Amino acid sequence: MPDHYDFDLFVIGAGSGGVRAARMAASKGKKVAIAEASDLGGTCVNVGCVPKKLFVYASQFPELFQASCGYGWSQQQPASFDWSILRDNKTTEIQRLNGIYQQLLDNSGATLFNGRAIIESPHQLSVNGTSYSAKTIIIATGGWPYIPKFPGSELAISSNEMFYLEQLPESAVVVGGGYIAVEFAGILNGLGVETHLVYRGSQLLKAFDPEVASWVQQGMREKGITIYLNTEVEKIIQKDQQLVINLNQGESIQAGLALYATGRKANTAHLGIENTQVALNSNGSIEVDKYFQTAEPSIYALGDVIDRVQLTPVAIQEAMVLVDHLYGDNSLDIDYNHIPTAVFSQPELATVGLTEAQAKQQYRQIKVYQSDFKPMFNTLGGGSERIFIKLIVDQASDRVVGCHMVGDHAAEIIQGVAIAIKAGATKAHFDATIGIHPSTAEELVTLRN
């Protein structure tokens, strides 16, 4: 390394991907710096999957309390909910995780800068007014919620603010049809908020298998969420302490909160990209090749900012592949096929592999196995929620190429199935496996036409 470089590697963004890249490079003896303008851990730890999952847990208790009566438990006094306790306990847990990330970086030997790094040239950056040089730069700045501009849009909030509300409203409107929208609609509804979900499309969760998405949509309606499809918000008006949300269908909803979960965009503003040859895709994400290299040879990018698959474990794997490419033997790779994912909606959805439509395009003939049943828990606990499982098989090879599930513990179950699908398991392998009885998961090895 030429003496004039201050660092071998400078990482911009201390989310899961950025931190993994910094730690791995430092462990290989490289002089590493990492800069973060906000809290350590990125979106997932601070305003994403971790606090959101805690809120999902909180919102499930009313149904559990009700179900407990069928199992002999009596509630002498009705349960009450205190939003401030949940919010503040969540914040304490997030601060604990921030501390763990701090410790991981400290122990790795990487230098942490608190502030936004601005790229001044292909090998030069500045943080808090001080310039540093680096042989290689990695951009791992993630994404940021996007709220479109329309009359009254400034009255809406994004998912970022949802985790720090002063108080929970009596009613809320959630706008969007993706996983963030349906998850927050379930959270608000479960916490006792009158919840309306407005989506411009004809079906929620359009990126998923339509049949599976429709199960989630129906389940949400059964839990009391009012869903408006093929509908858009025209304007939002402040009226006293309430918001009036006017819809293009002529209706209006009065609510205490309007949450826009209409997607996220790559967080590249005020980064100094214009001082380099780094190219952006049409959606604003950073364009990279298979080795995560941008059009500027010294600059790489990974994670949500490149908008391939916006999942924390994917960003971590991308970081490992990239550092191995830069400083290892270039043996690591990332396969974007068969990535399992979950939507912590209520009911919960998890999936791995191809949808039915994708399988029909890819294979000459497929077989679809599915099951719809009442979970054992509800036999005494009551409740109308059912479980839906769908298995998709390539008929020629008998390989299982997709598995989708809606219902309790879907994410936990599909994670195991993902290993089998990644390993190339056939339907015969599933059929030959002894089930765990009684369990929901045993349905996967007893599916027959």
Spatial distance between the Cα atoms of 134 and 126, rounded to a whole number of angstroms: 11
Same-domain pairing of 401 and 434: yes
Does any domain span residue 335? no
- Domain limits for position 397: 347-445
**For 314-366, what is each residue's pLDDT tens digit?**
999 999 999 999 999 999 999 999 999 999 999 999 999 999 999 999 999 99
Alpha helix segments (H runs only) across 81-228:
83-108, 159-162, 179-190, 210-222
Residue owning tokens 């998912």 = 159
Looking from the CA of 404 toward its CB, the CA atoms found within 13 Å total 26
Q: List the structure tokens of 234.
A: 């025209």
Q: List the structure tokens of 167.
A: 């108080």
Q: Are 184 and 162 in contact (CB under 8 A)?
A: yes
Same-domain pairing of 21 and 138: yes
Q: Which of 247, 150, 207 is closest to 358 using CA atoms? A: 207
Q: Are 159 and 261 in contact (CB under 8 A)?
A: yes
**For 199-220, what is each residue's pLDDT tens digit?**
999 999 999 999 999 999 999 9
pLDDT at 2 exceeding the cut of 80: no
Question: What number is the average pLDDT over the span 368-386?
Answer: 94
**For 266-306, what is each residue's pLDDT tens digit?**
999 999 999 999 999 999 999 999 999 999 999 999 999 99
Does any domain span residue 340? no
Same-domain pairing of 13 and 110: yes
**Cα 50 from chain centre:** 10
DSSP-derived secondary structure for 166-194: SS--SEEEEE-SSHHHHHHHHHHHHTT-E
Does any domain span residue 56? yes
Does any domain span residue 119? yes
Same-domain pairing of 141 and 29: yes
Catalytic residues: 437
pLDDT at 114 exceeding the cut of 70: yes
Domain edge (last residue) among 233, 262, 291: 262
Domain edge (last residue) among 209, 232, 262: 262
Alpha helix segments (H runs only) across 206-327:
210-222, 312-327
pLDDT at 75: 79
DSSP-derived secondary structure for 4-30: T-SEEEEEE--BHHHHHHHHHHHHTT-
Does any domain span residue 339? no
Same-domain pairing of 49 and 138: yes
218-241 as b/e: b if 16+ CB within 10 A: ebbeebebebbeebebeebeeeee
Q: Are 181 and 175 in contact (CB under 8 A)?
A: yes
pLDDT at 112 exceeding the cut of 90: yes
Does any domain span residue 41? yes
Question: What number is the average pLDDT over the span 171-188?
Answer: 98
Radius of gyration, alpha carbons of the chain: 24
Does any domain span residue 309? yes
Whether this prediction's pTM lies above 0.75 is answered by: yes
Interaxial angle between packed helices 312-327 and 16-27, expressed in degrees from 0 to 180 and rounded to the nearest 10: 30
Same-domain pairing of 196 and 274: no
Same-domain pairing of 278 and 135: yes
pLDDT at 3: 61
pLDDT at 1 exceeding the cut of 50: no
Does any domain span residue 434? yes
Spatial distance between the Cα atoms of 111 and 131, rounded to a whole number of angstroms: 14
pLDDT at 76: 81
Same-domain pairing of 197 and 248: yes
Same-domain pairing of 187 and 158: yes
Count up the domains in the chain and report the number: 3
Phi, psi of 328 (to 5 degrees): -115, -150
Domain edge (last residue) among 274, 294, 327: 327
Same-domain pairing of 404 and 420: yes
Same-domain pairing of 269 and 138: yes
DSSP-derived secondary structure for 281-303: -TTSPBP--TT-B-SSTTEEE-G
Residue 394 sits in a domain whose CATH number is 3.30.390.30
Residue owning tokens 């952006």 = 280
pLDDT at 411: 98
Spatial distance between the Cα atoms of 401 and 376, rounded to a whole number of angstroms: 28
Geometric angle at alpha carbon 199, from 375 and 348, rounded to 5°:
20
| Burial group, residue 85, by CB count within 10 angstroms (0-12, 13-18, 19+) | exposed
**Cα 172 from chain centre:** 22
Q: Are 318 and 334 in contact (CB under 8 A)?
A: yes
Phi, psi of 350 (to 5 degrees): -145, 150
Identity of residue 222: E
Residue 164 sits in a domain whose CATH number is 3.50.50.60
76 compared with 297, residue with greater pLDDT: 297
Same-domain pairing of 281 and 240: no
Q: For residue 115, what is the DSSP state?
A: S
